[in-house]
Chain A
């Protein structure tokens, strides 16, 4: 594949542009080891504060058979999304939330649907409800970081969703000004070369790693580049109503310089919604020259 060459080209580009950016930002230049250890003479110079580019969660790359990175044990990274649904130990939930979690888990393990769960049903993704933070950060679709003055923006391929991380020093809105949304209200700052993101204002009707949560959820992320082509996001979730202690998960992403973010609408051909065989397929069935009945 042309992947290696693309990476090489990205490296050259980084050498051309990253260094002046780094110097002007007064954060110092870090030298990362090149991806290919055998080429030890070559090192990639990368601005550790330049997070821009397309990133894909490594667990999902492994599933697609595209992961080149290996974990320390030499095995492909395991899937990280929703592991709380299936993997013990139980999350540190307060009794009321643990009860709710058990109901969710029973459905997730193949039990009968439970209408009382509403959007907290483990089928909410296949029913095409938005998943919100933190699931979007571990979803099986890539995301693109954009860096512009005062702001870092994450564009998700799934549902063309957006996270805006305000870097201009503002605080979270308070009281009635705080909106409760799928992706929450995020403010960020740099600590060394780590982007620290603080998120509140998260709707309570979503799951986080398979767990229910409250409207008091507070997430702190420490996002940093491990090297030029890998990104790590350590998320710590605190929730005074739902959690007895913080839950921390670390997601790792691989840079995909050859990918363009596509468009993904879950409602395009979702057979869970009864669209059996009625695929839209880019509108071809809505073309009256293909489906003559439409022109009558």
Chain B
């Protein structure tokens, strides 16, 4: 398996953080830190194409060499399907690089900014969440 790692959080002063969208907020967008972006690099455990929100579960090797599961949230499948995402965008085992606004509580999760499926020719998916 190729190297899997978490890149350290790169704190960015991103303006989009100033207006937390309601649709996200109504599913607890306030849990996420809108000014931080974390890159999660790993393999897909599961792509949950669901409502009210979809989740990409990614297995990442932590600094101790153990696999940990990250939960990357995106929007409702009914809305994602209208913005270029698909039920079949990811399959278990796909190598992905996911940019997320992390959970404020430090858990392994966040809301997606951008997901790249390296296994599927580097296909890029964008999520306009925050």
Interface residues of A (CB under 8 A from B): 60, 63-66, 79, 81-82, 110, 123, 125-126, 128, 140-141, 157, 259, 262-266, 268-272, 276-277, 279-282
Identify which of residues 38-52 in chain B touch chain A, using a CB-to-CB cut-off of 8 Å.
46, 48-52
Tell me whether A65 and B128 are in contact in the complex, defined as CB-CB below 8 angstroms, given that A110-B30, A272-B27 are known contacts: yes
- What are the 3 closest A-B residue pairs judged by CB atoms, nearest first? A269-B50, A279-B48, A140-B23
Q: Which residues of B contact A66 (CB under 8 A)?
A: 82-83
Name the distance in Å between B65's Cβ and chain A's nearest Cβ.
23
Once bound together, how far apart are the Cα atoms of A270 and B73, in whole Å? 11
**20 A-B pairs whose Cβ atoms sit less than 8 Å apart in the complex:** A63-B21, A63-B128, A64-B79, A64-B128, A65-B126, A82-B22, A82-B26, A125-B27, A126-B28, A140-B22, A140-B76, A141-B79, A262-B81, A268-B51, A269-B50, A270-B27, A272-B27, A277-B57, A279-B48, A279-B55
CB-nearest residue of chain A to B52:
A266
Q: Is B61 an interface residue (CB 8 A)?
A: no
Whether the pair A263, B26 counts as a contact (CB closer than 8 A) is: no
Q: Is B124 an interface residue (CB 8 A)?
A: no
Bound Cα distance A64, B77 (Å): 13
Query: Which residues from 66 to 100 on chain B have a C-beta closer than 8 Å to any C-beta of chain A?
Result: 69, 71, 76-79, 81-83
Cα A270 to Cα B55 in complex, Å, equals: 11
CB contacts (< 8 Å) of A63 on chain B: these are 21, 23, 128
Residues of chain A within 8 A of B82, CB atoms compared: 64, 66, 259
Instruction: Known A64-B79, A140-B79; judge A264-B55 contact (CB<8 A).
Output: no
| A268-B22 in contact given A64-B79, A277-B57 (Cβ < 8 Å) | no
Task: Decide: B50 and A268 in contact? CB cutoff 8 A.
Answer: yes
B5 contacts chain A at the CB level, 8 A cutoff:
no
Q: Which residues of A contact B52 (CB under 8 A)?
A: 126, 128, 264, 266, 268-270
In the assembly, what is the distance between CA of A79 and CA of B83, in Å?
18
- B50:A272 contact, CB within 8 angstroms: no
Number of residues of chain B lying within 8 A (CB) of chain A: 28
Contact A279 B46 (CB under 8 A): yes
The residue that B26 contacts in the complex, of A64, A126, A271, A280, with Cβ under 8 A, is A126
Q: A63-B23, A79-B22, A269-B50 are in contact. List 8 more A-B contacts (CB 8 A).
A: A126-B26, A140-B76, A140-B79, A262-B78, A264-B52, A279-B46, A281-B50, A282-B49
A79 to B53 CA separation, bound complex (whole angstroms)? 19
Are B49 and A281 in contact, CB atoms less than 8 angstroms apart? Answer: yes
| Chain A contacts for B27, CB-based, 8 A | 125-126, 270, 272
A residues less than 8 Å from B53 (CB atoms): 269, 271
- Bound together, the chains give a CA A64 to CA B80 distance in angstroms of 9
Contact A264 B23 (CB under 8 A): no
Chain A residues with Cβ below 8 Å from B69 are: 277
Contacts of B30 in A (CB 8 A): 110
Closest to B128 in A: A65
Nearest-neighbor residue (CB-CB) of B69 within chain A: A277
Residues of A within 8 A of B76 (CB): 140-141, 264
* Residues in B neighbouring A271, C-beta threshold 8 A: 53, 55
Complex Cα–Cα for A269 and B36 (A): 26
Least CB distance from A149 to B in Å reads: 30
Residues of A near B23 (CB, < 8 A) are 60, 63, 81, 140
Kindly list chain B residues whose C-beta atoms are within 8 Å of the C-beta of A269.
Answer: 48, 50-55
Chain A, Cβ-Cβ closest to B78: A262
Complex Cα distance, B27 from A282, in Å, reads: 20
Which residues of the other chain, A, contact B71 by a CB distance below 8 angstroms?
276-277
Residues of B within 8 A of A276 (CB): 71
List chain B residues, Cβ under 8 A from A60: 23
A263 touches B21 (CB 8 A): no
- Complex: how many Å from CA A34 to CA B22? 32
